[in-house]
Chain A
Amino acid sequence: MKKIDKQKLKENSKLTLKNIILNHNYLFSLILLLIVGSIASPNFLSPANLIQLLRASTIIGIIALGMSLVIISGNIDLSVGSILGLTAAISVLVYNATGSIFLTLLFTLAFGLVLGLFNGFFVGKTHIAGFIVTLATLAAFRSLTVQLGQGGPLLINNDFYYEGLRKIGYGTFLSIPYIVWIFIFATVIVWMVMTKTKFGRYVYAIGSNEKAAKLSGIKVDLMKVLIYGFAGLLTGLAAFLYISRFGSVDTATAGRSFELDAIAAVAIGGASMAGGKGFIQGSFFGAIILYSINAILNAFGVPAFITDLIKGILILGAVLIQKSLNRNKEN
Chain B
Amino acid sequence: MKVEFKNIYKNFGAVQALDDVSFSVPEAQILGLLGENGAGKSTLMNILGGVLKPSSGSIMINGEANAFLSTVKAKELGISFIHQELNLVNDLKVYENLFLNDEITKYGFLNKKEMIERSKAVFKKMKVEIDPEAFVRDLDTSRKQLIEIAKAVLFDSKLIIFDEPTTALTNKEIKILFDIMREFRNNQISCIYISHKMPELFEICDSYVVLRDGKFVDKGLFKDIDEQKATELLVGKKLANQEIEYDESHIGDIVYEVKDLTITPFFEDVSFHLKKGEVLVITGLFGDGRGELAEALFADRKIERGEVILNGQKLKMNSIISVMKSGISMVPRNRKERSIISDLSISDNLSMAYFTSKHKKLFVKRNEENERFEKNQKITQIKAESPLKKITTLSGGNQQKVIFSRWFELNSDVYILDNPTQGIDVGAKSEVYHLIHELSLQGKSVIVFSSEYTEIKKIANRVIVMYRGTINKELVHEQINEVDIMYYATGSNLKEKN
Contacts and interface: CB of A to CB of B under 8 A. Distances in A.
**Which of the four size classes fits the interface of chain A?**
20 to 34
B344 A205 contact: yes
B194 interface: no
A111 to B, nearest CB: 26
Contact of A208 (B15, B298, B344, B357): B344
A212 interface: yes
Given A1-B40, A215-B332, A217-B324, A276 B16 contact: no
Contact of B364 (A198, A205, A215, A277): A198
Interface in A176-202: 192, 196-198, 200-202
Interface string B351-391: 11101110100111000000000000000000101000000
B35 to A, nearest CB: 10
A1 B298 contact: no
A127 interface: no
A8 B16 CA distance: 13
Contacts, number: 109
Given A9-B385, A197-B362, A1 B17 contact: yes
B257 interface: no
B20 to A, nearest CB: 13
A197 B213 contact: no
A216 B320 CA distance: 8
A207 B341 CA distance: 9
Interface of B (DSSP majority class): loop
B300 interface: yes
Contacts of A14: none
Contacts of A331: 12-13
Nearest to B40: A1
B324 A1 contact: no
B343 A276 contact: yes
Nearest to B369: A201
A218 interface: yes
A5 interface: yes
Contact of A209 (B213, B330, B342, B351): B342
Given A3-B15, A196-B364, A215 B343 contact: no
Nearest to B213: A1
A4 B364 CA distance: 30
A217 B356 contact: yes
Contact of A207 (B16, B339, B343): B343
B285 interface: no
A330 interface: yes
Given A4-B14, A216-B406, A198 B355 contact: yes
30 contacts: A1-B15, A1-B39, A3-B15, A3-B213, A4-B15, A197-B364, A198-B356, A201-B344, A204-B348, A207-B343, A208-B344, A209-B337, A209-B340, A209-B341, A212-B332, A212-B338, A212-B341, A214-B300, A214-B320, A215-B300, A216-B341, A216-B352, A216-B353, A217-B321, A217-B352, A218-B352, A219-B319, A330-B13, A331-B12, A331-B13
Query: What are the 5 A-B residue pairs with the smallest beta carbon separation, nearest first?
Result: A217-B356, A276-B343, A208-B343, A5-B14, A216-B352
